Amino acid sequence: MLLVTGGAGFIGSNVVAALNQAGRSDVVICDLLGTEGKWRNLAKRQLVDIVPPTELMDWLKGRKLEAMIHLGAISATTATDGDLVVETNFRLSMRLLDWCTMNTVPFIYASSAATYGDGTEGFDDDPSLPALKKLRPMNLYGWSKHLFDLAVAERVARGDRLPPQWAGLKFFNVFGPNEYHKGSMMSVLARRFDDVRAGRVVQLFKSHREGIEDGDQRRDFIYVDDVVRVVLWLLATPSVSGLFNVGTGKARSFKDLMLAAYAALGTRPNIEYIDMPEQIRDSYQYFTQSEVDRLLRAGYNGGFTTLEDAVKAYVGDYLDRPDRFR
């Protein structure tokens, strides 16, 4: 069996969909479905079991797994409950790492570009302890992910035993189908698409930094299908371990993202710029761009979808249809 934690979430449900499409029905999910319709991310899937996170360690006793894909986390960059975030994102991850080590199970886990903080130290996915210790995440979520990266790197540096394959994936700005339950953490495209389609004004943040135009804050936007390809490639390539950025390597602006949506619909842009809330100005990233050389040197050759093609696919295949779910 394959275990996907966070398998009902955005990236997780897309990974599960790809596994099903590849003929794998022996998939177990660890997640909470809640009451906000998150189950719809799984409505077209075939599964062995759905295990609540609080029961996972007991469920794992005596089990045999082909691999564990650990994507479950509190992923809101606005999270403030430090104890809950540490328990969920760090301590559970440590227990799962130990279990995979003891049971010789490949372990692929989600890190985050949020570990890079404001980008002062660049976006090089150098997995060494000295390099990682220079990073200063700007929010609780990013710090919790960074804490786990450091713990893994410490074991590597000491030569401690690890799973037969381990891979940490620093996801950049992922967007695509099944992100709808994420509320304010959805991509701007998903949040604003109905306005785009209806011709209503779309609001983007003004810039509060000299030299950067309104709407020209840039992110490394990556379509979820590209992320899934990386995960499946790692599953098929057990000889590869390490810490890897997962982005396109090209930063694009929020304005570019929304203009691509208008182009996909063939409609005229209607964008206005509003002040960024003061409470996030000091922690707002104006630029992220992954360095993907390490992933490419490891042998990945799946390529990355251009922003325009990704938006066109997302709009045409999902957002502009009655059924938006994968």
Q: Which residues are catalytic?
A: 141, 182
* CB contact at 8 A, 5 and 69: yes
Ligand-binding annotation for 61, yes or no, is: no
Q: Which residue, 43, 76, 100, 111, is CA-closest to 326?
A: 43
Q: Where do we find the tokens 């104006």?
A: 286
Ligand-binding annotation for 207, yes or no, is: yes
* CB contact at 8 A, 227 and 158: no
Ligand-binding annotation for 173, yes or no, is: yes
Helical H segments across the chain, by residue range: 10-21, 56-60, 82-85, 92-102, 129-132, 140-158, 188-198, 224-236, 254-265, 278-281, 293-297, 307-314
Report how far residue 116's alpha carbon sits from residue 260's, in angstroms, rounded to the nearest whole number.
27
Ligand-binding annotation for 72, yes or no, is: yes
Report how far residue 168's alpha carbon sits from residue 71's, in angstroms, rounded to the nearest whole number.
10
Q: Which residue, 88, 100, 69, is CA-closest to 5?
A: 69
Report how far residue 224's alpha carbon sits from residue 229's, in angstroms, rounded to the nearest whole number.
9
Contacts of 293 (CB under 8 A, 6+ apart): none
Ligand-binding annotation for 29, yes or no, is: no
Contacts of 80 (CB under 8 A, 6+ apart): 140
> Mapping DSSP to helix (H, G, I), strand (E, B) and coil, where does residue 246 land?
strand
Bridge partners of 70, per DSSP, are 5, 109
Ligand-binding annotation for 32, yes or no, is: yes
Ligand-binding annotation for 206, yes or no, is: yes
Ligand-binding annotation for 108, yes or no, is: no
Ligand-binding annotation for 38, yes or no, is: yes
Ligand-binding annotation for 31, yes or no, is: yes
Ligand-binding annotation for 250, yes or no, is: no
Q: Which residue, 259, 195, 267, is CA-closest to 221?
A: 259
Ligand-binding annotation for 307, yes or no, is: no
Ligand-binding annotation for 171, yes or no, is: no
Ligand-binding annotation for 13, yes or no, is: no
Ligand-binding annotation for 208, yes or no, is: yes
Ligand-binding annotation for 73, yes or no, is: yes
The structure tokens listed for 22 are 């590849």
Q: What residue numbers does the annotated binding site for NADP(+) cover?
A: 10-11, 31-32, 38, 71-75, 145, 174, 182
Q: Please give the annotated binding residues for substrate, written as ranges.
A: 173, 184, 205-208, 219, 284
Annotated binding site: 10-11, 31-32, 38, 71-75, 145, 173-174, 182, 184, 205-208, 219, 284
